[in-house]
Structure 1
Amino acid sequence: MVSGAAKIATWIIRLLQFFFAVILMGITSYMVDQYRDGGFRVLREVSLPLAASVIALILTMLSMAAIFFLNHTLQLVAAFLDFVVFVLYLASAILLRHNYHGDRRRNPLWWSLMDVRRAQLEGDHPDLMSGLVKLLVAGVIIQLFLFFATTVLGILAATRSDSNRTRRSRGTVV
């Protein structure tokens, strides 16, 4: 069986994944709303992190509830699902790669959002839009690391529970 400390660490990481998924859903939903209200096409740089965050939110809610009760097979399934979400966030990070600049004028997503706001004849709010783009990029990178961690922890937990199960079955035979 996996140690209690590892389960608690995994649960804390799951809680962080949940919080960051909610934050990213809020940011990307706001951006999607801005694009749609302005009659613009929603960029992939915004829609993919939104989809990844929705999936992450559902996965983390289920995983937080079941972390102490998963058997070997379900731990492998959870690790695989973590890997899928990790790949989604990796693709999001790749799509956002041109927006990693500290200077907002070098971030294409910021320029796009500013164009949308100008087309809607709303106030520009360049600092707000810049902060949202930076928060989106940071949140995606953080989720990337968190889901990598739970993928590795899930695989380790599954292999440990499998080796413990094998040892117990050998012990009962002897």
Structure 2
Amino acid sequence: MAKGMKACTWIMRLFQLFFAIILVGVLSYMIHQFHRYGLPVPRELIVPEVFSVLAIVVTGFSILSVFFLSYTLQLVAALFDLTMFAGYLASAILLRHNYRIWISPLRTILSYPPGPLGPPHHIARNTGLVRLLVGLTVIQTVLFLNTTILSLFIAKDTEKKKELEEKRGHATA
């Protein structure tokens, strides 16, 4: 059962890594668009960007912790997962006004920028990018919650195996 949990956690962590990389790209593009239009960058882009960059680093560490690290470092990975879960949950809450795409403030600002930039442009691209941003943020929230729980189970299982080995070692001595 432990090997199945480890494999499941490892696969989830790979998805977390891939989705975090995609989110960094999408959010960087959106932030660039806001700078291009001379508009202040909203919090609903800054917070997920920060947590997506952190997720790349944390997930890299956590991928190693699944198979190679000790009980204590697996607990540290679970703590990092819990922190990332909280960050993505905050990001999902900040993006709550963008769940219905046709009244999405991000889509509206990116597609119809104020000022002398001419007619609206990139409406379809911006609509898709806002949908991708919202969807991946919610998915990352769920993935980090699941890996937090699985990491705790794996750490507990690792500790049990260590205790059994110690008992066997004392019994043979």
Q: TM-score, normalised by structure 1?
A: 0.90
C-alpha distance in structure 1 between counterparts of 2:66 and 2:118, whole Å: 49
Matched with 1:21 is 20
Matched with 1:53 is 52
Unaligned runs of 5+ in 1: none
% identical aligned pairs: 40
For each residue in 1:94-120, what CA deviation from the matched residue of structure 2 results, as whole angstroms up to 9, or x when unmatched? 00111111xx33111111222437654
The one-letter code of the counterpart of 2:69 is: L
Which has the higher mean CA deviation after the structures are superposed, 20-29 or 156-165?
A: 156-165
Which has the higher mean CA deviation after the structures are superposed, 62-71 or 34-43?
A: 62-71
C-alpha distance in structure 2 between counterparts of 1:107 and 1:74, whole Å: 41
C-alpha distance in structure 2 between counterparts of 1:97 and 1:155, whole Å: 30
Q: How far does residue 38 in structure 1 lie from its aligned partner after superposition?
A: 1.3
Contact 1:38–1:119 (CA under 8 A) maintained in structure 2: no
Contact 2:85–2:141 (CA under 8 A) maintained in structure 1: yes
Query: Quick one: which of 136, 149, 159 aligns to 1:139?
Result: 136
Matched with 1:160 is 157
Corresponding residue SS for 1:68: helix
Unaligned runs of 5+ in 2: none
Q: TM-score, normalised by structure 2?
A: 0.91
Residue 45 of structure 2 is aligned to residue 82 of structure 1: no
Figure out how many residues of one structure are paired with residues of the other and give that number: 171
The one-letter code of the counterpart of 1:87 is: A
Q: How far does residue 3 in structure 1 lie from its aligned partner after superposition?
A: 2.6
| Equivalent residue runs for 1:106-145 within 5 Å | 106-116=103-113, 119-121=116-118, 123-145=120-142
Matched with 1:98 is 97
| CA RMSD across the alignment | 1.8
The one-letter code of the counterpart of 1:169 is: E
C-alpha distance in structure 2 between counterparts of 1:148 and 1:173, whole Å: 38
Corresponding residue SS for 1:82: helix
